[in-house]
Amino acid sequence: MPGPVASRHHAQRSDALIVQRVRSGDSACYELLVRRYDQRVYRVVRAILRDDSEAEDVMQDTYLAAYRHLDGFAGRARFSTWLIRIAASQAQGRLRKTGRFVPFDPTLEEARARLIDARAAALARDPEQQAGDRRIGPMLERAIEALPPPYRMAYVLRELEGMATADAAECLGVEEGTAKTRVHRARLLLREALGREVGDDAAEVFAFDGERCERVAAAVMEEIGAAELPHATGRDSAI
C-alpha cells in the first residue's frame, strides 16, 4: 500500500486525470486506480460471489477488462460507476459459467423466509460458534450474505460504500426508486436478523486491505506490463 505522503498525493489526482495519463501511455499510473477502488470492487464482487478467493480472481479480471476498454470510457458516468458496472458484469458472468446465476427479485416475505432459512442452516452447522460470537462484524457479514442478491447488491453499494442512490441504481441497471426499495428492504431484514439498527458497524464488514490489496494490485500490473495490453474503443458500456 502507498505510504501516507504518497497516498495524499495520489488522492489529489482526479480519476479523469489518471485515465488521461494511462491513455497517453503511462500504464504504471493505472495502479493508482486499482488501489483507489480495491475496497469498493472487492465488496461488490464479494457480494455477488460470496467467496473470497473467487472474488480476488474476478477483481483481477475486472481491472484488466477496464484497462483494455479504457479508451471506451467517455466520461458520461463517473469512472467509479463505470468500473463497478464492469465488476458486477464480470462477477455475474462467473456465476453463469458455473451455473449458479439465478435471477431473483423477491417480495419482502420471500426474502425474510430465505434469511431465516440461511440463519437456521448456519446455526445447525456450527451452533457453538454462532452462540458464542457476539461481535457485530461477523454477525453482520453473515446476515448480509444471507440477503437475496438484489437486496444484497443494493445494500452493499448504498450502505457499505456510501454511493449516492442514483449512482447505485446506475450500477444495478434499475430505476432509482427500485434501488431505494431494495435498500429499505435490506435494512428491515438486517434489523430483524440482528435485533438492532445497523449503522456505523456496516463500514467495517468485508474489509479488503493489506496482503490481499498488494496481491491484486501486483497481479494486475504484472499482467498489464507483461502483455502490453491494448486499449479498445467503446462508449461507457459495461464489459
What nine digits make up the cell of 187? 435494512
- Terminal Cα-to-Cα distance of the chain (whole angstroms): 28
Low-confidence residues in the chain, pLDDT < 50: 1-11, 129, 131-134, 234
The closest alpha carbon to 191, from 124, 120, 111, belongs to 111
Residue 177 has a pLDDT of 95
Inter-residue contact 72 to 237 (CB < 8 Å): yes
152-163 per-position pLDDT tens digit: 889 999 988 888
Please count the residues of the chain: 239
Helices (H) and strands (E) in the chain, counts: 13, 0
Determine the Cα–Cα distance for residues 174 and 57; give it in Å rounded to an integer. Answer: 26
Residue 122 has a pLDDT of 53
Q: Is the pTM of this model over 0.85?
A: no
Between helix 165-172 and helix 176-194 the angle, nearest 10°, is 100
Query: How many Cβ atoms are within 10 Å of 47's Cβ, its own excluded?
Result: 23
Domains in the chain, please, with CATH?
4-100+207-227 (1.10.1740.10), 108-204 (1.10.10.10)
154-207 per-position pLDDT tens digit: 999 998 888 899 999 998 889 999 999 999 988 888 888 776 666 656 666 777
